[in-house]
Chains A and B, each alone.
Chain A
Amino acid sequence: MQAKDALNYDYSVAKCFTYATILFGIIGMLIGVVIAYQMAFPELNYLAGEYGTYSRLRPLHTSGVIFGFLLSGIFASWYYIGQRVLKVSMAESKFLMVIGKLHFWIYMIVILTAVVTLFMGVSTSKEYAELEWPLDIAVVVLWVLWGFSIFGLIGIRREKTLYISMWYFIATFLGVAMLYLFNNMEVPTYFVSGVGKWYHSVSMYAGTNDAMVQWWYGHNAVAFVFTVPIIAMIYYFLPKESGQPVFSYKLSLLSFWGLMFVYLWAGGHHLLYSTVPDWVQTMGSIFSVILILPSWGSAINMLLTMKGEWGQLKANPLIKFMVLASTFYMLSTLEGPIQAIKSVNALAHFTDWIPGHVHDGTLGWVGFMLMAALFHMAPRMYKKELYSKKLMEAQFWLQTTGIVMYFTSMWIAGITQGMMWRATDQFGNLAYSFIDTVTVLIPYYSLRATGGLFYLVGFFMFSYNMYKTISAGKAISSEPQNASPMSA
């Protein structure tokens, strides 16, 4: 391995996943905006027969953004970061190249099939786990391929120590593998009892047990898909883009183990005041409050990495995206523990405050970090300058406004809704009927949908900027060390 003068990192798989991220981002967020407007204007439910109804589109939105947009963004970053922090090129192993490409194509087939089947209404009706058993098996295959890719690359690495991002990628791989298998244990009814279509199944668990497994999964999907791999990204991209070493590498290790340990016990906060045992609820609540510590540990570590370098925030929009991502991470991990306190949850549960919480995490933290990652990778993968800094700035402000509109409207809507549901008159009769609450909430639904629309338009600006970078960006002669080059 001495003669590596001509050796370069091979980004072909990372590029494929980059395109997928943009494609599924557009699909997933577009559907999101549609269903948001449907809540404000119910007539919009009837535009496309059964295929256009809220109930059909909602799982398409969630699956589209989580398993389409977010996962392909994670994979794109993995195929980029992995090689670089291990200092080994995929081109050095034919095997890993084949695995990488296979991983991509099977992934595309699975996700596109998922889109089609969900449109058809084929669903297990388990939130975030709607795919039926044949697709579940395909997902396992693609996950195993990703595992080959991770551990294969680790096997031929030159850098002995695994950089902190690697720890987080490995945790994502192992965490999701475990969650996915347990939650998707299902009985194919046709083969067992001749009932239903061949692809139909029911959960292996019933009643309260099903609820517990479901939220152990749902909650930890937030952990291992919305949080852990995004931390992997920010620990690489923020230091690299800014040229600053991580503020405290030791803190990154401590937060890692803290996060791993605490997250797994907090899922009970999704089932407060339900039929699950009281101790499960209390434990979920307590661990949720503790969870703020490892979460803020990573977020503060990132903000302190910028210590003395805040000028970069003005000069470089990518730093802006990442610092805001980290800030939104702090916001949602402060909000989450608050919502997990039993008395607060009694008010918040089932209300619009929950999607409010979800979206300052997903739009602010996850979305901003993913777009910053793709922006950072583009000049290095395509050897081009980023197309337009101005467009990036405009996108940043439009999307930030969108997020703020989203969560503020949902805070007000949610708390109003919760208060109205529980309000009673002096005799203890409920003061409002359900439709009273709906009437009050409608203006906030319009606000939210418009905030979402802003974010979507921003995503189109991002996609256009990426497209122009790839097709018409100014060529650069050597790879930039830190700040990504961009034309005004």
Chain B
Amino acid sequence: MNMETIRELQAYGYILFTIFLAVILYSYLYHLYRDEKTGTRNYEKYSDIALHDNIDDAPVEAISPLNKEKD
């Protein structure tokens, strides 16, 4: 393969890889917002994990129904 072809392939590879990464990035963002829209998850409430962190505070999301406490 001559140098020119290598350079050309590199350039295509570079563009495709960049597009691929951009797609991943935006899909992740989309995933975050969609989960909130559809009510699967409310990410913002996880901030409360730090704010209500006494040992007897109710967990924001208890690990299993067994440990679930009433708030």
Contacts and interface: CB of A to CB of B under 8 A. Distances in A.
A254 B29 CA distance: 7
Contacts of A5: 56
A239 B47 contact: yes
A7 B54 CA distance: 10
Nearest to A84: B53
A164 B48 CA distance: 11
B44 A87 contact: no
A245 B55 contact: no
B44 A248 contact: yes
Majority-rule SS of B interface residues: helix
A159 B47 contact: no
A269 B46 CA distance: 36
B71 to A, nearest CB: 13
A100 B1 CA distance: 58
B63 interface: yes
Interface string B33-71: 100100000011011111101111101111100010000
Interface string A162-175: 01110000000000
A239 B57 contact: no
Interface residues of B, number: 25
A4 interface: yes
A400 B54 CA distance: 34
A250 B51 contact: no
A250 B33 contact: yes
A164 to B, nearest CB: 7
A1 B55 CA distance: 12
B46, B49, B57 interface centre (most CB from chain A within 10 Å): B49
A149 B59 CA distance: 21
B54 A85 contact: no
Contacts of A4: 55-56
B28 A245 contact: no
Contact of A161 (B36, B44, B55, B60): B60
Interface string B11-25: 000000000000001
Contact of B51 (A1, A9, A159, A243): A243
Contacts of A248: 44
Contacts of B49: 85, 159, 161, 163
Nearest to A166: B49
A257 interface: yes
A236 B33 CA distance: 23
A1 B53 contact: no
Contact of B47 (A157, A249, A254, A258): A249
> A-side binding surface: helix, strand, loop or mixed?
loop
Interface residues of A, number: 33
A89 to B, nearest CB: 6
A160 B59 contact: yes
B32 interface: yes
B56 A236 contact: no
Contacts of A89: 55
Contact of B59 (A87, A239, A479): A87
Contacts of B54: 479
Given A4-B56, A7-B55, A239 B43 contact: no
B46 A249 contact: yes
Contacts of B62: 158-160
Contact of B50 (A8, A158, A235, A257): A235
Interface string A227-254: 0000000011001100101101110011
A253 B43 contact: yes
Q: Which of A85, A245, A257, A479 has the largest number of chain B CB atoms within 10 A?
A: A245
A249 B43 contact: yes
A403 B44 CA distance: 35
Interface of B: 25, 28-29, 32-33, 36, 43-44, 46-51, 53-57, 59-63, 67
Across the A-B interface, give the 10 residue pairs with the lowest CB-CB distance, nearest first: A245-B47, A84-B53, A163-B49, A160-B61, A159-B59, A246-B47, A160-B63, A249-B43, A250-B32, A239-B50
Given A161-B49, A258-B25, 8 more contacts: A158-B67, A159-B62, A159-B63, A161-B61, A248-B44, A249-B44, A250-B33, A254-B28
25 contacts: A4-B56, A7-B56, A84-B53, A85-B49, A87-B53, A87-B57, A157-B63, A158-B62, A158-B63, A158-B67, A159-B49, A161-B49, A161-B60, A163-B46, A163-B49, A163-B50, A236-B50, A239-B47, A243-B51, A245-B48, A246-B50, A248-B44, A250-B36, A254-B29, A258-B25
